[in-house]
Structure 1
Amino acid sequence: MARKPTPKRSNPRSWTEVAPLLVDVAMGRKPADLVVRNGRWVNVYSGEIIAATDLAIVAGRFAFCGPDASHAIGKGTKVVDAAGRYLVPGLCDAHMHVESGMVTVTEFCRAVIPHGTTSMFIDPHEIANVLGLGGVRLMHDEAMAMPINVHVQMPSCVPSAPGLENAGAALTVADVAEAMTWSNIVGLGEVMNFPGVAANDPIMAGEIAATVKAGKTIGGHYASPDLGLPFHGYVAGGPEDDHEGTRAEDAVARVRQGMKAMLRLGSAWYDVAAQIKAVTEDGIDPRNFILCTDDSHSGTLINDGHMDRVVRHAIAQGLNPVTAIQMATINTAQHFRLDREIGSIAPGRLADFLIVSDLPALVVDEVYGRGVRLARHGKLDVGIEPYDYPRSARNTVKLGRKLKAADFDIEAPKGANEVRVRVIGVIENQAPTRALEADLPVEDGLVAMDRRNDVCQIALVERHRGTGQVVNGFVSGFGYMEDCAMASTVAHDSHHMILVGTNKQDMALAANRLGQIGGGVVLFSKGKEVALVEMPIAGLMSDERAEIVAAKAEKLAEAMRKMGCSLNNAYMQHSLLALVVIPELRISDVGIIDVTKFEKVDLFV
């Protein structure tokens, strides 16, 4: 893939370049570009809220934070009256995947800036699984052009579980070492192959060593409830944070071992409430707790918010508002060794801040990035030019042939009238699944679904190399009561096409439709298309505005509800059914995978 030249970021100059100017403004020898007066300073270093504070900003950085900045006001200085409102550092999302928003980096930023997000740490391992290192570079370069800080973590596990799945590309230790030299790479993305780390897998060890050598942060992903020796081996291998905890004891265990416990609230992952009790009830030091989203789709971003939503949720669980803000600002900045740049309102730091009228409810009135107002009352103030993805990033769905209903037939063992099968069980609002079993009837030699007991069919269609391969299985939890099928080319992490349906003809129609348009998610019922979100960029992202994508996603969600699905954010649950690094049972292009044992198992028990 041809690489575009890295675009020039609209960053302010470095601190070393402007330090004399900052001193001059702080001393009153030169005027500030912007002075914000009479605010209540949320100081994340001291944990205080300091009334009657002024901020003086020059060259995109804070020069003075104190009781009176009148000495920094000159003829050309813009003055803003905070009128007693709170001055809050811009919010940071410590771990997230832009692709889960169904939109590009540009559109993701357009959606979240009005909610107060001014820094994001993105792991583009979704596009890496489709386009490899070239795909990572595309998102890295797009991130460089944003008016906020979009830092990139180099994906670590492509494929996520070698031997259990085959992705569209593979990344090597040499790829990781190369990426560590790129200007906007801040660390290694979540190391999902936790058994490999504990077993001293040379690829995992090599990638971690390359990251340490570069002096950057190693992201973690320990998706197991086992806090015994495998956990200790994983921590000893180098990962510095983890967002896969779901219990208070998970958060405690990670912090005790010197990791950062990342607590996520995404569109479908609700892991903050249980784990925050480690702070609110057990009294664990909150400095090593970080808030993040992991995966948020466009509907959540447009309608509910981003990191502001997470902070409000944490406060609602009984967390002190200032502590919650620390977990979404300075704790994140310190973790990524960027606290001299972001995460606080303090001299020398980038002037990323919010003017907030209600702190516990986190009502964001105005958003500033690098000293420029970016949004006011929920509306973006600045234009962001779209990034031009090349044609090679748009033609990635290769089915190899037209699929038929018979491709989804599951033949029963010869002579059987009933079979016992393994079933993937969806857990609402969580990433793990359950390994279930069900007795299903056999009709004309084929295993039938059991709609009454919520057992329908799941299939994975290989879409990177055009092999025409189909793997079939069963899933429970969607509650579909009508003839229907949903297909998606977003199927973490290898991103083959994944289908869930109660009708094989609809499954074939849905699969072929996505092959025709180059990817996305579509729902068919009784032979008719009822909802579609086109995602032509790598089969993962739309090139439309976030508001348009959100509206299409809502139409999809409503169509799923009409089919009988009452799951919260069912699309997100659908997209993770092939994630072979989170227990218990998954589907991949290799077959049905038992993730507690990390091995392929037979569909029939």
Structure 2
Amino acid sequence: MEPKHDLPSWPEAAPRLVAVAAGREMADLVIRGGRWVNVHSREVLDGHDIAVAAGRIAFVGPSAAHCTGPGTEVIEAAGRYMIPGLCDGHMHVESGMLTPAEFAAAVIPHGTTTMFADPHEIANVLGLAGVRMMHDEALMQPVNLFMQMPSCAPSAPGLETTGFAISAADVAEAMTWPGIVGLGEMMNFPGVIAGDPQMLAEIAATQRAGKTVGGHYASPDLGLPFAAYVAGGPADDHEGTVEADAVARVRQGMRAMLRLGSAWYDVERQITAITERGLDPRNFILCTDDCHSGTLVDEGHMNRVVRHAIACGCDPLVALQMATINTATHFGMERELGSLTPGRRADVILTPDLRTLPVEHVIARGRTVARDGRLLVDCPHYDWPAAARATVRLGKRLGAGDFAIAAPEGANSVTARVIGVVENQAPTRALTAELAVTDGRVEPDEGQDVAQIALVERHRATGGVVNGFVSGFGYRGRMAMASTVAHDSHHMIVVGTDRAMMAAAANRLGEIGGGITVWKDGAELAVVPLPIAGLMSDSPAAEVAAQAGAMMRAMAECGCTLNNAYMQHSLLALVVIPELRISDLGLVDVTRFELTGLFQ
């Protein structure tokens, strides 16, 4: 399916824009009597009009009367602030558990009109063909949804097996597609540091295409390894968690992306680089990274991030720059979007307050797309093929025995390595625990908050199950939770205290083609079907959010008290973020980037 294009380029629209600005022709739309938030000069200018033609801004000034005719649509700003549509500098559509169309439908009422998305989740499941499906649906939307070509599938070669692998040739091909704006986050930072030929070839293909290389440096080491990574070419990074991370990145010419997602709260500890140290904010960008559907429906999207940055002490105009013009400039699109100035796409928000940022009216490409929280346009769907809906292949029906962990011969107890969940952060801790042995099997320990974790292979029907232990969820009683969202290889993660229920949860997801399920005392408490690649639903966001809400309540019923614990669950196989993870090949020590044994 070929994507639709309904917006003329600036050169194509220029004759009309010039004629409207000069008053020789009348504008299609005039937004009248607003307070112009100019993110180029960091000013608020009262009593201004914006004139729009062919979906682009033709004129901004104290009066657009000279180009307002009988056929011109007039929107009365009535003294409200006119701000650029918000831009998300780094995010994953799949994390919303929604397709691009439904994700767009969810965030448009919140004022997000531009997204730079890395579809590396679907790349791990369906390869380049899946990326193309995401790309094509993205270009069908009434707002700007750009894709980055995923760089790392697998994210750590030799430590996990994915459904498909991305090659440098794939990257080079994708750079020719109209909606690809760069290379997705380069997660294989050890590969870049070591001069891995494939990683450097992917970066080179992106740079030759004149596009932006996304970064992902998930290490606290800001010494020579960080210097080597920057030298390799990544232009931004969103993995910082403390002020020193943000400072180091901008000093080395990168953009520091500060994220507030459903579970990542990394803005407050880094924005002090601006608010207290006084660093130039031009190289700081706000993003979400991962937001699930419940957050999008109940709390917002980039408007939520901007409000949070302001609450952390950031000047509202600086926060807006970090969510508009800074982002556009980073991706080489400053002349296309990110500000309310001539020639740019007419993406405008009307709001009565810059601090609390209520989004009352959203205009994208010169037409009203949402008002007072209500979506007013269609977000077209791609015709997802059957192959994208049949991706959970277990190879056999699983039983409790597949989740049994055999103890070393003759052992009465063992010292086991345990993945330690850290609330609101992506890194885990490498813990140990003394665990009892019963009938030759190592048992989880509710008293120590140690549950079992298993990674079930689901791409090639091998029937493989890798077992381990995890701590931090607080689960009690007999329960299990399974998900085919398992960053980044997206096998199946099962966490539980009862082996039979772990098997039941895994089999359930095999039956429905993927998603999330929570079980307690032998019965299913909640399910979120995600039939597309086992990652996404093409149902409306509110429906998926309701299912996700029931899932979160079910986790709480099983004893979990973590904030947005589902995000923590889904990242337990992310073998590029320290310290300890699980993959289809075994436990992974991410401080050394090597497989390690379950028992010490």
TM-score (norm 2): 1.00
Q: How many angstroms apart in 1 are the aligned matches of 2:521 and 2:503?
A: 12
**Residue 103 in 1 paired to residue 98 in 2?**
yes
Match of 2:247, SS? helix
Contact kept in structure 1, 2:241 and 2:266, CA below 8 Å: yes
Q: How many angstroms apart in 2 are the aligned matches of 1:178 and 1:399?
A: 32
Q: 2:50 aligns with which of 30, 35, 55?
A: 55
Q: How many angstroms apart in 2 are the aligned matches of 1:36 and 1:88?
A: 12
- Aligned-pair distance for 1:9? 2.4
**Residue 325 in 1 paired to residue 320 in 2?**
yes
Match of 2:220 in 1: 225
- Aligned-pair distance for 1:80? 1.2
- Aligned-pair distance for 1:23? 1.1
Q: Which consecutive unaligned segments of at least 5 residues does structure 2 have?
A: none
**Residue 158 in 1 paired to residue 179 in 2?**
no
Match of 2:352, SS? strand
Match of 1:488 in 2: 483
Q: 1:368 aligns with which of 363, 366, 384?
A: 363
Match of 1:273, SS? coil
**Residue 385 in 1 paired to residue 398 in 2?**
no
Contact kept in structure 1, 2:136 and 2:382, CA below 8 Å: no
Match of 2:359, SS? strand
**Residue 272 in 1 paired to residue 270 in 2?**
no
Q: How many angstroms apart in 1 are the aligned matches of 2:379 and 2:424?
A: 33
**Residue 352 in 1 paired to residue 347 in 2?**
yes
1:586-601 equivalence runs, <5 A: 586-601=581-596
Contact kept in structure 1, 2:456 and 2:463, CA below 8 Å: yes
Q: How many angstroms apart in 2 are the aligned matches of 1:460 and 1:383?
A: 39
- Aligned-pair distance for 1:18? 1.4
Match of 2:38 in 1: 43
Q: How many angstroms apart in 1 are the aligned matches of 2:170 and 2:197?
A: 14
Amino acid at match of 1:471: V
RMSD: 0.6
**Residue 127 in 1 paired to residue 122 in 2?**
yes
Match of 2:528 in 1: 533
Q: How many residues align?
A: 600
Match of 1:278, SS? helix
**Residue 7 in 1 paired to residue 3 in 2?**
yes
Match of 2:391, SS? coil
Match of 1:42, SS? strand
Match of 2:460 in 1: 465
**Residue 340 in 1 paired to residue 350 in 2?**
no
Amino acid at match of 2:128: L
Aligned sequence identity (%): 67
Q: How many angstroms apart in 1 are the aligned matches of 2:401 and 2:282?
A: 56
1:200-211 equivalence runs, <5 A: 200-211=195-206
Match of 2:210 in 1: 215
Q: Which consecutive unaligned segments of at least 5 residues does structure 1 have?
A: none
Match of 1:275, SS? coil
Match of 1:260 in 2: 255
Match of 1:9, SS? coil
Q: How many angstroms apart in 2 are the aligned matches of 1:333 and 1:399?
A: 43
Contact kept in structure 1, 2:479 and 2:498, CA below 8 Å: yes
Amino acid at match of 1:325: L
Match of 2:72 in 1: 77
Amino acid at match of 2:176: T
- Aligned-pair distance for 1:551? 0.1
Contact kept in structure 1, 2:56 and 2:344, CA below 8 Å: yes
Match of 2:526, SS? strand
Amino acid at match of 1:298: S
Match of 2:284 in 1: 289
Q: How many angstroms apart in 2 are the aligned matches of 1:385 and 1:64?
A: 31
Match of 1:363, SS? coil
Amino acid at match of 1:178: E
Amino acid at match of 2:266: D
Amino acid at match of 1:533: V
- Aligned-pair distance for 1:407? 0.7
Match of 2:436 in 1: 441
Match of 2:559, SS? coil
Match of 1:175 in 2: 170
Contact kept in structure 2, 1:9 and 1:146, CA below 8 Å: no
1:234-245 equivalence runs, <5 A: 234-245=229-240
Contact kept in structure 1, 2:137 and 2:380, CA below 8 Å: no
Cα-to-partner distance string for 1:355-388 (whole Å, 9 max, x where unaligned):
0111100111000000000000000011222222
Q: How many angstroms apart in 1 are the aligned matches of 2:75 and 2:211?
A: 38
Q: How many angstroms apart in 1 are the aligned matches of 2:199 and 2:576?
A: 14
- Aligned-pair distance for 1:81? 1.1
Match of 1:319, SS? coil
- Aligned-pair distance for 1:7? 2.3
Contact kept in structure 2, 1:427 and 1:433, CA below 8 Å: yes
Match of 1:133, SS? helix
Q: How many angstroms apart in 2 are the aligned matches of 1:69 and 1:7?
A: 35
TM-score (norm 1): 0.99
1:422-433 equivalence runs, <5 A: 422-433=417-428
Match of 2:474, SS? coil
